[in-house]
Amino acid sequence: MKPIVRFAPSPTGKLHVGNVRTALVNWLFAAREGGEFILRIDDTDTGRSTKAYEDGIKEDLSWLGMNWSSSFNQSDRFDIYDDAANNLREAGLLYACYETSEELDRQRKILRAQGKPPVYDRTGLSLTPEDKAKLEAEGRTPHWRFKLSGKTTSWDDMVRGTQNIDTSSLSDPVLIRGDGSYLYTLPSVVDDIDANITHIIRGEDHVTNSGAQIEIFEALGGAVPKFAHTPLLVGSDGKGLSKRLGSLSMDQLRAQGIEPLAICSLLAKIGTSDPVEARQSMAELVEEFAFSKIGRAPARFDEKELALVNARLLHETPYADVKDRLDALGVAGGEDFWLLVRANLDKLGDAAGWSTVIYAPMPGQIANEDADFCAKAAEMLTGNIDENTWGAWTSALKEATGRKGKTLFLPLRMALTGRQRGPSMDQILPLLGTERAKARLMGKAG
């Protein structure tokens, strides 16, 4: 059976690296096994969900190269969730509770003070129709809990191995709030059954939830998917990323000039046995993917490492892959220029700066003490320039002026490019040409 997986973001905010890693693991697994990747928009929270965030999620996934076979919104399926809830009520597995959040919080504090687990006491199950009528007359509305079996739920997790959840140690989960709105759990299970989801791949913070969800799958007569719970992302300091996720959203990283493949390369490899290296295609990441490579320790996300991966990716990127984007940036020079400068780029936008250096009129940067030397260099630069000119020219300058090493080469580089570092000058000089190079050496715009 080919796998069917889903990524289920809530359109209440922007897609950030934590979301993307979950989406990526699902996508890579589906692609590796020839399966399907479904995008489910979890917008049951209609007050906070927006179309703008939904569109942004879809745009970001497309930009990252993660296409989906189908997509649907939970907000279109409330009637289906209502039917499932009614079925659970009729089976005696969904029961009404009337405690306020303050009362529940007080109960938990008392239990903790007594050294007991803060598990709901199932008061709702003992309420008579008269009790419920009295509570509702007071203005209370019920929330609805799923009655767990109290047994141990087990599964073979594809990342964590054998997992056992003692449901007697859990509170019966609330599936429907007092205002009638659904929490995540019931709609998710109903959708997974209807979409024939075969594998649920998500963060390890959902492990305990899985114990309860398996019982809901069984109560609704659905096949229980296989589970894979991956370690969560942490920062380079080992601390959680929650306070920094806004700066790690996809639109922020895109605005910073980070390549989508750099993001995917890093997120696919951190926390695994593979080295963190740039990959030139999603196909490479698919070929290398395996759950057996994912470790149990938290995966460390380091923005500095992302910057390095981004630079290394550009250093190996063929011209054909960036031609249209360079054209859009107004970068001149074609493939020869790209092959010359790419090893000196941190971000693609840096190519525009080098295009200006080589092709736009600009005066050379010449220190006062180097003016005579640069004038002499201009005088000695004659004839057509090719890849051999730089070596012969600087050798002649060394002989004529006595300069050598840094005092010979750095003033020439600064006069010709305005930068202390960059591509090899024997390659830059032919692109500048004789007239432009001589003008810059004389301190004129060239």
pLDDT tens, residue by residue, 210-229: 999 999 999 999 999 999 99
Same domain for 399 and 330 = no
Average pLDDT (325-341) is 93
Same domain for 381 and 355 = no
Tell me the torsion sign for CA atoms 335, 337, 341, 347.
Answer: negative
3 within domain boundaries: no
Same domain for 172 and 97 = yes
Same domain for 351 and 383 = no
196 within domain boundaries: no
pLDDT tens, residue by residue, 279-292: 999 999 999 999 99
- Domains in the chain, number: 3
Asked whether residue 380 carries a pLDDT value surpassing 60, the answer given is: yes
422 within domain boundaries: yes
Average pLDDT of the chain is 95
Which of 337, 359, 381 finishes a domain? 359
pLDDT tens, residue by residue, 228-274: 999 999 988 888 776 565 668 999 999 999 999 999 999 999 999 99
Average pLDDT (408-427) is 95
Same domain for 404 and 373 = yes
pLDDT at position 237: 83
Same domain for 423 and 382 = yes
Same domain for 410 and 387 = yes
pLDDT tens, residue by residue, 145-177: 999 999 999 999 999 999 999 999 999 999 999
Round to whole Å and give the CA distance between 244 and 246.
5
pLDDT band, residue 333 (cuts 50/70/90)? confident
Same domain for 378 and 328 = no
Residue with tokens 């370690």: 231
First to last CA, the chain: 66
379 within domain boundaries: yes
Round to whole Å and give the CA distance between 273 and 206.
23
Q: Which domain holds residue 346?
A: 319-359
pLDDT tens, residue by residue, 342-370: 999 999 999 999 999 999 998 889 999 99
pLDDT at position 245: 59
89 within domain boundaries: yes
18 within domain boundaries: no
Left if phi > 0, otherwise alpha if psi is -120 to 50, otherwise beta: which for 258? beta
Tokens linked to 69: 């076979």
Q: What angle do CA 376, 381, 383 make, to 5 degrees?
A: 155
Same domain for 402 and 329 = no
At 331, the amino acid letter reads V
194 within domain boundaries: no
353 within domain boundaries: yes
Asked whether residue 446 carries a pLDDT value surpassing 90, the answer given is: no
